Amino acid sequence: MQFNIPDSNLPRVVILGGGFAGLTLARKLSNQPYQVVLVDKNNYHQFQPLFYQVAMAGLEPSSIVFPFRKLFQKTPNVFVRIAEIMSVEPDQQLVHTSVGALRYDYLVVAIGADTNWFGNEKIKSNAIPMKSVSEALFLRNSIFDDYEKAITSEADDAKQRLLDIVIVGGGPTGVEVAGSLAEMKRQIVPKDYKDLKGDEIDIHLVHGNDRLLNTMSPQASAKAEQFLRELGVQLWLDKVVTDFDGETVTINDGSTIRTNKVIWAAGITGNRIEGLPDSVYARGNRLKVNAYNQVEGYQNILALGDVCLQTEEKFPNGHPQVAQVAIQQAKNLVKNLKIWQKEGGPAPQPFRYKDLGSMATIGRHRAVVDLPFWKFQGAFAWFAWLFVHLFAILGAKNKVFVFVNWVWNYFTYDQSLRLVIRPWKKPILEGKE
């Protein structure tokens, strides 16, 4: 198997990963004097900030993904290849994948991050992560599957475990999931599941810090806590989940919560690529890079986004692992690639992160926004959150679909997306394994 990429006199830029960093870089290099190869295990870009809305049946998955090939239909210098990334040979300037090896002039590692289980294999085998569209769909199926089972359950303990949900992690994802579940409990369960009582459902949020959204301002944290308590979410602050066996959550103070579902949003760790020495990896599997995003010890291997650790005076422990960092790093790298191609040109530009702010939503008319010059919460923050995320989604059609879904849900307090769609499995013929 091979890539079938034509030979070219243009410098070849191989981009591993089509997240915010990789896709931004590929788009900025389209129709430029480079041969660009974008490699990803999926054939689409995923808009991660809205995974939770897919999981909560607020949006269809097709609304927050966009096919790579559609984006690059009119860009002959960009090649898309769907493959699993295996390893890299820096000395040979080769990257190995499930469809073969590929030579590069510049290798850009933008493979993002995955769920951090902190070494707890039992929790990993029983909890539900939410770092992809497929995981969000799995969570959606699990929630509505368990509601159906709870209706016919005769044992009180079994019924309660089917209904109660524990969310681990009080960052933006955990807070947004908790708020959505609380609204589902209030607005959807009484209509769809008349045999269930809303007050039977307990939603627990466990966070290992004494305040939620601890990377945001104290005002945002306090307001997020107030909003969740108003929605009936039970908060376990400054607590750590130490075990989950599929039926019981154990917390570090000895407390337990009986549940079948744990949603794990407690942290991320960088995806590793074989072939790079351990010395270039920092805490959280992040690749150490310089001010130009070059991986330590390599001039033509670069890393962007969540997978890289880049420090500057304002961020001595590295930049936050958010989309804006990835996008800004990609744009800066485009400038530097052009500089590096010109002998005797100007010096490359070091990356400086411009913090545009952060935000999180906690249900209808409840959100918190931290801007560099203004911090606000409540209904106006919620509308601001909707506006920003709507325009960040790729594709005019996706924007329209998301907008229509949000407007319909706003006026009806309802969505018709509560489907349990199980993946089909090809039957095994008798006598074959």
**Which residue ranges make up each domain of the chain?**
12-115+269-340, 121-266
| pLDDT tens track for 417-426 | 777 777 776 6
pLDDT band at 427 (very low <50, low <70, confident <90, very high): confident
Per-residue pLDDT averaged across 316-334, rounded? 95
Distance between CA atoms of 379 and 54, rounded to whole angstroms?
22
121-266 and 12-115+269-340 share a CATH fold: yes
Provide CATH code, domain 121-266.
Answer: 3.50.50.60
Q: Encoding tokens for residue 26?
A: 């590929």
**Domain spanning 12-115+269-340, CATH class:** alpha beta
pLDDT one-digit tens code per residue, 31-88: 999 999 999 999 999 999 999 988 888 888 888 999 999 999 999 999 999 999 999 9
Residue type, 424: W
Mean pLDDT on 287-313: 95
pTM: 0.92
Q: What is the pLDDT of residues 30-42, one digit of tens each?
A: 999 999 999 999 9
104, 193, 405 from 408: Cα distances, Å? 48, 21, 5
Residue 433 has pLDDT above 60, yes or no: no
Amino acid at 294: Q
pLDDT, residue 430, reads 63
Report the pLDDT value the prediction gives residue 409, as an integer from 0 to 100.
Answer: 79
Q: Is the pLDDT of residue 345 over 90?
A: no
Q: Is the pLDDT of residue 432 over 90?
A: no
Mention every residue, 6+ apart, whose C-beta is less than 8 A from residue 162.
Answer: 146, 147, 149, 150, 153, 260
For residue 1, is pLDDT > 60? no
Contacts of residue 305, defined as CB under 8 A and 6 or more positions apart, other chains included, come to 17, 19, 20, 21, 22, 110, 112, 321, 325, 326, 329, 330
Average of pLDDT values for 274-285?
94
pLDDT in tens, 146-160: 999 999 888 888 999
**CA pair distance 322, 312, nearest whole angstrom:** 16
